[in-house]
């Protein structure tokens, strides 16, 4: 089946801005090849549209990507840094770099003007996460709303899988029948960039899944493991809303997201002696440096314990 062309706007705005066709073709290919997730494609589309409109308003650019220069990009970044957060600027430039590199590979341009673009370093902030007692309180909390036994069992399985395996929400919602081996405790996941990995989720999560499947029935190999109330796979938004209800029941901050359970998994593994590279494999990080941020959290905890317990601290 031929992929449907990507429309980078979802707000009803016209799609005849300069350079739109090349951007639409690029995002359509990325979606078809599963190199980019749908949400990432939408974000890239908005970033590229923003740049195209900026180019048009600063010299009447006609959408010819071969006419871009390194100076155009430098001026864009300088202006954006005055009005946007650094993270936003980095994301926009990342979209430009990826798009222009693809355009060069396909012969649309002869050079990549973004190649030598230098951006200020982003501050590395420590991720928020749940402490072990907070995680325990969340997982043991009773629902504040009346639910069917099947829905309660499913929600418990969702939380246990997120924490037990350090899963991304998209990975969790994408688990199909046959991906989780209840005998070995391993689950096959499709991560970022369509990279597949197999990780353990722990006996507690497996027990929660068994309880849920005993009520809903075992899914076929092509069916979602976790079902939405009306059938079909659970949506990440549904997981977020469910977590907010559970946080309220446990008396925990409402701004904690499902991704914080992934952070909690990594932090608790390292705090209890897990090898850094094994945690990298568990989380599916492409670079070890991404995983190393969690060592700052465990070192901070060690420093606190040392200060309280050591006689000469």
Residues catalogued as catalytic: 168, 192, 259, 262, 285, 294
- How far apart are the C-alpha atoms of 34 and 3, rounded to whole Å? 11
Q: Return the CA Rg of the chain.
A: 23
Residues 48/11, Cβ–Cβ less than 8 Å: no
CB 55 within 8 A of CB 72: yes
- Which residues lie across from 176 on neighbouring strands? 224
Backbone angles phi, psi at 312, to 5 degrees: -110, 15
The DSSP code sequence of 171-202 is HHHT-BTTTEETTTTEEEEE-GGG-EEEEE--
Q: How many CB atoms lie within 10 A of CB 228?
A: 13
**What is the distance of C-alpha 162 from the center of its chain?**
13
């Amino acid at each position: 089946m031929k992929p449907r062309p990507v429309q980078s706007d979802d707000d009803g705005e016209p799609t005849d801005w300069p350079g739109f066709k090349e951007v639409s073709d690029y995002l359509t290919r990325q979606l078809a090849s599963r190199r980019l997730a749908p949400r990432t494609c939408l974000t890239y589309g908005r970033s590229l549209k923003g740049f195209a409109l900026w180019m048009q308003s600063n010299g009447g650019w006609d959408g010819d990507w071969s006419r871009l220069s390194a100076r155009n990009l430098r001026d864009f970044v300088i202006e954006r840094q005055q009005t946007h957060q650094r993270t936003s600027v980095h994301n926009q430039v990342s979209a430009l770099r990826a798009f222009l590199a693809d355009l060069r590979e396909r012969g649309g341009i002869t050079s990549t003007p973004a190649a030598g673009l230098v951006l200020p370093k982003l501050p590395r902030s420590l991720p928020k996460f749940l402490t072990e007692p907070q995680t325990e309180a969340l997982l043991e909390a009773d629902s504040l709303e009346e639910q069917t036994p099947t829905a309660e069992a499913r929600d418990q399985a969702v939380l246990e899988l997120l924490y037990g395996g350090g899963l991304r929400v998209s990975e969790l919602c994408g688990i199909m029948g046959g991906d989780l081996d209840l005998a070995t405790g391993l689950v096959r996941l499709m991560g970022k960039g369509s990279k597949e990995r197999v990780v353990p989720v722990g006996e507690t999560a497996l027990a929660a899944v068994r309880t849920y499947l005993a009520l809903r029935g075992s899914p076929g190999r092509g069916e979602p493991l976790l079902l939405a109330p009306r059938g079909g796979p659970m949506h990440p938004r549904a997981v977020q809303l469910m977590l907010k209800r559970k946080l309220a029941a446990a008396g925990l901050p409402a701004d904690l997201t499902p991704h914080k359970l992934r952070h909690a998994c990594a932090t608790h593994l390292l705090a209890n002696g897990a090898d850094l590279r094994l945690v990298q494999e568990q989380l599916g990080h492409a670079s070890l440096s991404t995983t190393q941020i969690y060592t700052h959290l465990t070192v901070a905890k060690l420093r606190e314990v040392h200060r309280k317990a050591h006689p000469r601290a």
